[in-house]
Structure 1
Amino acid sequence: MFNVMLTLLFAMIMGAGQLVLSQASKEVFALGGLSINALLTSKWLWFGIFIYGFAMIFWVYILSRFDVKYAYPISSTAIFFTAIFQAIIQRNMPSGSYWIGLALVVVGLVVLSIDKKI
């Protein structure tokens, strides 16, 4: 169960990273497009790179403890956390069909976890 919690934490970090990189893309293109100067001076981009770098190190740690065939599907809950964080932080609520799709992902994760105690 601890490994599942670590993997869910990883998914949350990835979800947060998506929002940061989304903000970075807005900032970079507001500074004049995809230029070297805009990329080098974007604080949001550097913060996003830091988050993703940390997440990848954390992911390697998770994989040292948890079989990838179970960890990877659980990590796909990042899409759920991204939607939740976006709804809370950016006040941008996804559509009903989006939530139905996310529910199907969760059902799939439950089905995957039936074959072994994780």
Structure 2
Amino acid sequence: MKTILFILTSVFLGVAGQMLLKMGLYKTPPMEGLSVKILHLIFKPYILLGFISYGLSSIFWLLVLSRTELSYAYPMVALGYVFVFIFSWLYFKDQVTLIRVIGLVLICIGVVFVAMTQPNTPKPIN
């Protein structure tokens, strides 16, 4: 059960990172020059928070990898697609189409199938 919580925490922090990066870019005026644009963007609070969220997500992911099989844990990362879709629709008013919803339902079904299996304890890598 702890492993599932670590997986979900990692996924949610990744989703938060995506949302924060998008929010940081939201209403950003076009700029000339790549270096000027990069310098301007990396110091925006939402962008910085997005990178921090990704960093924390990676730390939780390391905990996941130390506790379970990669083939069990990694498919659950696909839940991030579902949550990003929902939050993007709610916050950014992204388009919802039937084909996208069907795709997300299929992702959820796949994650449920994977979650129903019993993973083995990972073997140490030499």
How far 1:111 sits from its partner (Å)? 2.9
Q: Which deviations, in whole Å up to 9, do the C-alpha atoms of 1:59-110 show, x marking residues without a partner?
A: 1111111211111001111001111222333343522221110111111223
Identity of aligned residues (%): 27
Contact 2:3–2:68 (Cα < 8 Å) also in 1: yes
Query: Paired residues, what number?
Result: 116
Report which of the two has the higher share of helix: 1
Equivalences for residues 37-76 of structure 1 within 5 A: 37-76=39-78
Structure 1, unaligned runs of 5 or more? none
Structure 2, unaligned runs of 5 or more? 120-126
Name the CA distance, whole Å, in 2 between partners of 1:53 and 1:101: 28
Equivalences for residues 1-118 of structure 1 within 5 A: 1-26=1-26, 29-30=28-29, 32=31, 34=34, 35=36, 36-92=38-94, 94-114=96-116, 116-117=117-118
Q: 1:52 to 1:104 in 2, by over 3 A?
A: same
Higher RCO (CA-CA < 8 Å; seq separation 6+): 1
Give the CA RMSD over aligned residues. Answer: 2.1
Give the TM-score of the pair, scaled to structure 1: 0.81
Name the CA distance, whole Å, in 2 between partners of 1:75 and 1:58: 12
Contact 2:20–2:49 (Cα < 8 Å) also in 1: yes
Name the CA distance, whole Å, in 1 between partners of 2:94 and 2:85: 9
